[in-house]
């Protein structure tokens, strides 16, 4: 744990200086074999107590000089710093010592001292960044401290969840339950001819018994509607445009509702009542014309 700034209490005194002098003498004896000059009558060995004769200077200073000075002058959570001569705190930046019953506690995470000493969280709460929170429903600390739920999700029972049956896949919720993509679980895509439809979270074939028909699948990531068309619907294959991507798209159309399939060129699709399919422009509203626009055409 990092040592904090000095508390203001001086800990080095004559006893500390005498101890350091003794340590230096002992080190000199240990290195140069001049023990008798400093050990008349066994006084030096007696001062060392139970320490063995091969103790080094650092151990002597740490366990004899500094410990003695610490016990004489410093509080429970402090240590004598021989370089500054003052007591320094052993508590880190987010801990308190003397105010919390003489012990170092991390007020960012300590259940009994959350944010400040003796501020105890209620049962089932967790201390997260100095605040008592319920990680079972806190969207910023869902399940554990610091685990934030993505936008559009909520925290339920310690897990991030999406509304209305949508799945949490990647950075956020799926926009809506999809008949092919993320069927039941993220990454389970029903895009093969044998099992093109999602039923109760599993990929399944079209139900021929109720008149469903198979419609060729769109490329992954491109829309186009379900792969199993309901009874009375038909499959529309058209040229789809998605930003810079152009390629085949598929959709089920319902002629009895006025839907129609427009396949005349690039960027066409499924027309609905009130639209018309025009050469070059594709789908336009009834009453519009198709006008040149630079290198292409647009409804006007």
| Beta bridge pairs of residue 245 | 242
Question: Is residue 273 included in any domain, yes or no?
Answer: yes
Residues 187 and 288 reside in one and the same domain:
yes
In a domain, 143, yes or no: no
- Sign of CA pseudo-dihedral 206, 208, 211, 217: positive
How many Cα atoms sit within 13 Å of 241 on the Cβ side? 10
What is the rounded distance in angstroms from the CA atom of residue 258 to the CA atom of residue 253?
9
Using H for helix, E for strand and C for coil, what is the string for the chain? CCCCCEEEEECCCHHHHHHHHHHHHHHHHHHHCCHHHHCHHHHHHHHHCCCCCCCCHHHHHHHHHHHHHHHHHCCCCEEEECCCCEEEECCCCCEECCCCCCCCEECCCCCCCCCCCCCCCCCCCEEECCEEECCCCCCCCCCCCCCCCCCCCEEECCEEECHHHCCEECCEECCCCCCCCCCCCCCCCCCCCCCCEEECCEEECCCHHHCCEECCCCCCCCCCCCCEECCCCEEEEEEEEECCEEEEEEEEECHHHCCEECCCCCCCCEECCCEEEECCCEEEECCCCEEEECCEEEEC
- Which is higher by pLDDT, 37 or 112? 112
Q: What is the mean pLDDT of residues 266-276?
A: 85
* Predicted local confidence at residue 93, as pLDDT: 72
pLDDT at 50 over 70: no
Q: Is 266 domain-assigned?
A: yes
Asked if the model's pLDDT at residue 55 lies above 60, the reply is no
Number of domains in the chain: 2
pTM of the prediction?
A: 0.44
Domain end, chosen from 71, 89, 107, is at: 89
Could you tell me if residue 209 is inside a domain? Answer: yes
Domain hosting 85: range is 6-89
Domain-ending residue, one of 73, 89, 105: 89
pLDDT at 178 over 90: no
Does the residue 166 lie in any domain?
no
> Do 183 and 294 fall within a single domain?
yes
Per mean pLDDT, which range of 43-47, 123-127, 149-153, 267-271 is the poorest?
43-47
Give yes or no for residue 136 having a pLDDT over 90: yes
Q: Do 188 and 287 have their domain in common? A: yes
Q: Based on the domain organization, do 182 and 78 belong to the same domain?
A: no
* Number of neighbouring beta carbons within 10 Å of residue 229: 22
- The CA distance from 296 to 300, in Å, is 13
Query: 89, 108, 133: which is the final residue of a domain?
Result: 89
Pairing of the two strands 275-278 and 282-285: antiparallel
Question: What pLDDT shows up at residue 60?
Answer: 67
> pLDDT grade, residue 103 (50/70/90)?
confident
The encoded tokens of residue 209 equal 């018994």
Instruction: Report yes or no on 276 lying in a domain.
Output: yes
Assess if residue 185 is contained within a domain: yes
182 & 282 share domain: yes
169 domain residue, yes or no: no
């Amino acid at each position: 744990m990092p040592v904090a700034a000095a508390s203001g209490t001086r800990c080095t005194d004559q006893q500390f200086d005498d101890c350091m002098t003794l340590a230096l003498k002992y080190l000199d004896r240990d290195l140069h074999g001049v023990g008798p000059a400093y050990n008349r009558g066994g006084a030096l060995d007696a001062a060392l107590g139970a320490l063995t004769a091969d103790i080094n200077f650092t151990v002597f200073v740490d366990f004899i000089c500094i410990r003695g000075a610490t016990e004489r002058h410093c509080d429970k959570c402090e240590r004598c710093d021989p370089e500054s001569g003052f007591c320094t705190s052993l508590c880190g930046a987010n801990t308190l010592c003397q105010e919390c019953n003489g012990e170092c506690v991390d007020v960012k995470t300590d259940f009994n001292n959350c944010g400040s000493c003796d501020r105890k969280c209620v049962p089932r709460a967790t201390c997260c960044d100095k605040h008592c929170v319920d990680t079972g429903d806190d969207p910023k600390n869902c399940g554990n401290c610091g685990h934030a739920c993505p936008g559009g999700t909520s925290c339920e029972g310690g897990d991030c969840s999406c509304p209305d049956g949508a799945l949490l896949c990647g950075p956020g919720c799926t926009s809506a339950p999809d008949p092919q993509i993320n069927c039941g679980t993220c990454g389970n895509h029903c895009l093969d001819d044998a099992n093109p439809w999602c039923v109760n979270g599993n990929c399944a074939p079209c139900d021929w018994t109720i008149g469903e028909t198979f419609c060729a699948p769109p490329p992954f990531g491109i829309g186009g509607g379900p792969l199993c068309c309901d009874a009375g619907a038909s499959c529309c294959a058209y040229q789809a445009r998605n930003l810079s991507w152009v390629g085949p798209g598929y959709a089920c159309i319902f002629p009895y509702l006025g839907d129609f399939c427009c396949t005349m060129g690039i960027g066409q699709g499924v027309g609905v009542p009130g639209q018309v399919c025009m050469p070059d422009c594709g789908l336009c509203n009834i009453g519009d014309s198709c006008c040149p626009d630079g290198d292409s055409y647009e409804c006007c």
